[in-house]
Amino acid sequence: MAKELDWRRLVDEIEISESAGITVEQIDDEITIAIASVVCVHFQVTADQALKLSRALAVAARLNSLRQRTPDNMAASFWRPADAAL
């Protein structure tokens, strides 16, 4: 009897604090994101939704890094809509 391949992979675990974290897992063509703290929430996203989430987080991180390197009143001037396509 042929064994069916179970393609299951933990992509990453991100610790937010001692009692909270995020895990991303891919099983076949499903991407599951779990946000755990006192309550755990699991949800599945499509590949397109995962890319959109990734881009949004990258833009937020970029804006945050610019704010940390420049005076508060100059940070917004470095952001351009083209940066949103990271």
Report pLDDT digits (tens) over 2-36. Answer: 445 455 688 999 999 989 999 999 887 788 999 99
**Residue-number span of the structural domain to which 25 is assigned:** 7-45
Total of domains in the chain:
2
**66 in the same domain as 53:** yes
pLDDT at 83: 53
**71 in the same domain as 52:** yes
Whether this prediction's pTM lies above 0.85 is answered by: no
pLDDT at 61: 87
Tell whether the model's pLDDT for residue 43 goes beyond 60.
yes
pLDDT at 48: 92
**32 in the same domain as 57:** no
The mean of the pLDDT values for the chain is 78
**34 in the same domain as 51:** no
> What is the spatial order of strands in the sheet that 20-27 belongs to?
8-17, 20-27, 30-36, 40-45
Contacting residues for 34 by C-beta, under 8 A, at least 6 apart: 22, 23, 24, 25, 40, 41, 42
Please indicate whether residue 52 or residue 28 has the higher confidence score (pLDDT): 52
**67 in the same domain as 79:** yes
Residue 1 lies in a domain: no
